[in-house]
């Protein structure tokens, strides 16, 4: 059976997850949220004392992470990704996790473990996968590749509104700094840096609604 891989890469808060979920639903594909995976590992490290005094205990984290895995849990309504048998939610979407996730993602053993997990999770069939290195590393031969960008201030405002809506006490300047810092860390890391694949279609989401970007992506896929 022919399977299709759609890679959606780009900067933080450009709409990758929302758009990828909609694409997967529209096409009846499986959605794989790699950002969720890196956030879960960051949460795992923080809550298992593998980050102390602002330092990641890399050797200990590597040993602990090797004993973990991601799996699918299916219920009557949806397929959910689990980490060691548990589904995570808003607890991994905090500003604290956001400040650690890019540093965690720079670690070679973390990326190696999660890329392997991503490839295992994708074996069910056609997938939409979003992240930062999907079209360049995880699935360099993906059938369709999109790369999303947007002005940092616009992305920070989206993130600020999201966290405020969840009742978090955050400041816009903190969010903007986090967005800029993550951009720098993601783009300059030695292993699998964030960059546009040569054959990816770039979309700047600054001035477009989610619906407009979604329609552009669907049109690109269905017209090929």
Tens-digit pLDDT profile for residues 108-161: 999 999 999 999 998 878 999 999 999 999 999 999 999 999 999 999 999 999
Instruction: Determine the Cα–Cα distance for residues 23 and 145; give it in Å rounded to an integer.
Output: 13
What pLDDT is stored for residue 125 in this prediction?
87
Q: Which residues contact 59 (CB under 8 A, 6 or more apart)?
A: none
What pLDDT is stored for residue 76 in this prediction?
53
> Would you list the domain boundaries of the chain?
5-216
156, 13 contact by CB (below 8 A): yes
What pLDDT is stored for residue 86 in this prediction?
95
- 52 conformational bin, left if phi > 0, alpha if psi -120 to 50, beta if neither: beta
What pLDDT is stored for residue 77 in this prediction?
66
- Of 64, 17, 59, the C-alpha closest to 43 is 64
Residue 117, Cα to own-chain centre: how many angstroms?
Answer: 14
- Of 194, 182, 193, 128, the C-alpha closest to 155 is 182
185, 102 contact by CB (below 8 A): yes
20, 130 contact by CB (below 8 A): yes
Instruction: Determine the Cα–Cα distance for residues 115 and 138; give it in Å rounded to an integer.
Output: 6
A 10 A CB-CB count for 41 gives 27
**Which CATH number is associated with domain 5-216?**
3.40.50.300
**Which of 170-176's residues contact partners 24+ apart within 8 Å by CB, and which partners?**
170/95, 174/95, 175/95, 176/152
- 222 conformational bin, left if phi > 0, alpha if psi -120 to 50, beta if neither: alpha
User: What global pTM score does this model have?
Assistant: 0.88
What pLDDT is stored for residue 73 in this prediction?
84
- pLDDT tens-place values along the chain, 224 residues long: 578 999 999 999 999 999 999 999 999 999 999 999 999 999 999 999 999 999 999 999 999 999 999 999 876 567 789 999 999 999 999 989 999 999 999 999 999 999 999 999 988 789 999 999 999 999 999 999 999 999 999 999 999 999 999 898 899 999 999 999 999 999 999 888 999 999 999 999 999 999 999 999 999 998 87
111, 192 contact by CB (below 8 A): yes
- Of 89, 109, 87, the C-alpha closest to 97 is 89
Residue with tokens 């031969």: 141
């Amino acid at each position: 059976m022919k399977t299709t891989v759609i890679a959606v890469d780009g900067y933080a808060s450009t709409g990758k997850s929302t758009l990828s979920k909609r694409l997967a639903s529209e096409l009846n594909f499986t959605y794989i949220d790699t950002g969720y995976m890196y956030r879960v590992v960051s949460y795992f490290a923080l809550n298992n004392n593998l980050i102390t005094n602002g330092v990641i205990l890399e050797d200990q984290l590597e040993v602990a992470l090797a004993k973990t895995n991601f799996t699918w849990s299916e219920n009557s309504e949806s397929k959910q990704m689990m980490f060691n048998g548990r589904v995570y939610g808003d607890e991994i979407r905090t500003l604290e996790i956001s400040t650690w996730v890019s540093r965690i993602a720079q670690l070679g053993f973390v990326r190696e473990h999660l890329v392997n997990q991503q490839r295992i999770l994708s074996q069910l069939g056609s997938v939409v996968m979003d992240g930062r290195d999907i079209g360049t590393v995880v699935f360099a031969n993906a059938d369709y590749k999109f790369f999303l960008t947007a002005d940092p201030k616009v992305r920070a405002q989206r993130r600020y509104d999201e966290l405020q809506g969840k009742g978090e006490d955050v400041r816009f300047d903190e969010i903007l700094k986090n967005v800029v810092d993550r951009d720098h860390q993601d783009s300059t890391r030695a292993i699998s840096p964030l960059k546009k694949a040569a054959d990816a279609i770039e979309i700047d989401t600054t001035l477009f609604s989610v619906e407009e970007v979604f329609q552009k992506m669907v049109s690109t896929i269905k017209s090929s």
